[in-house]
Amino acid sequence: MSPRIVSIGTAVPTTRVAQTEARDLFATQPGVDRLTARLIRAAFDAAEIEHRHTVLAQLALSGAPGPDDGTAFIDAERGLLRPTTGTRNDLYIRTAPALYAEAARVAMADAEIEASAVTHVVTVSCTGFFAPGPDYRLVRDLGLDPSVERYHLGFIGCAAAMPGLRLASRIAESDPAAVVLVVCVELCTLHIRPSADPQQIVAASVFADGAAAAVVTADPGAGREGGLELDRFSTALTSEGEADMVWTIGDHGFEMILSAEVPRIVGREIRGAVDRFLAGEATPDVWAVHPGGRSVLDRVEAGLELPPTALDASRGVLRDYGNMSSATILFILERMLRDDSVADGARLAALAFGPGLTVESALLTKRGATGSAVAGEPAGAAVGAVAGA
What is the sign of the dihedral through the CA atoms of 104, 110, 111 and 114? positive
Spot the catalytic one: 126, 158, 184, 188: 158
Pairing mode, strands 347-354 and 120-125:
unpaired
* H/E run at residue 257: strand 253-258
Other CB atoms within a 10 A radius of the CB of residue 357 amount to 23
The answer to whether residue 158 is catalytic is yes
Q: Identify whether the C-beta of residue 54 lies closer than 8 Å to the C-beta of residue 189.
A: yes
Calculate Rg over the CA atoms of the chain.
20
Other CB atoms within a 10 A radius of the CB of residue 2 amount to 15
Other CB atoms within a 10 A radius of the CB of residue 240 amount to 14
Q: Which residues pair with 366 in a beta bridge?
A: 228
192/115 Cα distance (integer angstroms): 36
107/202 Cα distance (integer angstroms): 32
Q: Identify whether the C-beta of residue 381 lies closer than 8 Å to the C-beta of residue 14.
A: no
* H/E run at residue 41: helix 34-46
Q: Which residues pair with 121 in a beta bridge?
A: 150, 181
**Of 2, 7, 9, nearest in space to 363 by CA:** 2
Which residues participate in catalysis according to the annotation? 158
